[in-house]
Structure 1
Amino acid sequence: MSLPEGCALRVATPADAPALARFRAAMFSDMGAALEDGWELCWTAYFEAALTDGRYWALLAEVGGVPVACAGLMLFPIVPLPSDPSGLRAHVQGVYTVPEQRGRGLGEALTRAVLAEAQRRGLKSANLNAAIMGRQIYERMGFEETKYPEMRLNLGAWTA
């Protein structure tokens, strides 16, 4: 998939942590999720450290040198399989495009580029958590609903 005219992709650096934090906040706001107080400092610090030590890899799409979209890659350990001996799963995370640039294919281009990086690293599987806005794009790319949805537990409110 080619990029829209005037757009360029580049690998995010630790200096991009504030932009990634803002994009993450905007993504959650677009989904109607409330943001916890302190999100900006927390997420900026995370992205800066994670981009530095390699826990996180991200791409930015820019128009005129200004970031307008992003997508990230996190690697999670899994029990290896004969068909997937890497012991890692790619998790596509934080796909976001600013409203005025939506509908130009940036989210799909970024997601494809992140998946290509995961393949380059030898990973055999990828997952993501899809917002309603991106679900059709991900399905078109071959992502499928899992048979067993993830379940979560808030350990802060749980007692043994």
Structure 2
Amino acid sequence: MTLALRPALPADVEIIQAQRDAMFLDMGSPAERVAQAHAASLKWFREALAGGSFSGVLAEQGGQVVGGAGVIWQSLPPSPRSLPVTRAYLLNVYVQPSARGQGLARRMLQHLLAECARRGVETVSLHASEAGRSVYEGLGFTPTNELRLTLGETP
């Protein structure tokens, strides 16, 4: 079957959110917590996609969406590591189980990285699951010194 990549459109927010929910469940997040985040996340993606602060790519096979990935366009002050003010944060890289093992995640990421390059982005970051780490490292991503503090009650 032919595989095609296409831009995510505002009408695709339900698909994007369903993939995001499935991704978190695959990574072991509690189903109750995923459900609690669903509506607010759906609203965020609807607004961000319409406003241009989020872009996505969807993979279709036989007319069905089988994968997706996205990027948040961040505006941050210039630094010695990145003079341009636009940086990219990749997220929601998901391929449904029946389509895994065909290099689809890599193709979607290459597509988004090409868009980053077109926009003059120098710094691209993401948080990797163990399942995706080898794909990201194969594209040149390296671990950084980022630290995290979680405030409030979050499992």
TM-score scaled by length of structure 1: 0.88
Amino acid at match of 1:49: E
Aligned counterpart for 1:126 among listed residues 118, 124, 135: 124
- Contact 2:53–2:74, Cα closer than 8 Å, also in 1: no
CA shift, 1:82, in A, is 5.5
Structure 1: 5+ residue stretches without partners: none
Matched residue type, 2:79: L
**SS of the residue aligned with 1:143?**
coil
Give the structure 2 partner of residue 50 of structure 1.
48
Of 139, 142, 154, 1:141 maps to 139
Give the C-alpha shift of residue 83 in structure 1.
6.1
8 A Cα contact 2:7 2:58, kept in partner:
yes
Shift of 1:66: 1.2
Cα distance in 1 for residues equivalent to 2:105 and 2:90: 11
- Give the match for residue 153 of structure 1: 150
Alignment of 1:14-33 (within 5 A): 14-33=10-29
Task: Give the Cα–Cα distance (whole angstroms) in 2 for the partners of residues 108 and 19 of structure 1.
Answer: 20
| Aligned sequence identity (%) | 35
Name the CA distance, whole Å, in 2 between partners of 1:65 and 1:40: 25
- TM-score, normalisation: structure 2: 0.90
1:28-43 correspondence to structure 2 within 5 Å: 28-35=24-31, 36=33, 37-43=35-41
Aligned-pair CA distance for 1:139: 0.7
Paired residue for 2:62?
A: 64
Secondary structure of the corresponding residue to residue 47 of structure 2: helix
Give, as a single letter, the amino acid of the residue that structure 2 aligns with 1:54: G
Question: 1:42 deviation in Å?
Answer: 2.0
- More off after superposition, 22-31 vs 77-86: 77-86
Shift of 1:94: 0.6
SS of equivalent to 1:21: helix
What's the RMSD between the two structures over aligned residues? Answer: 1.5
Q: C-alpha deviations, 1:54-89, integer Å up to 9, x for none?
A: 010000000122111001011222220366321121
Aligned to 1:75: 73
2:106 equivalent to 1:108: yes
Quick check: 2:71–2:89 contact (8 Å CA) kept in 1? yes
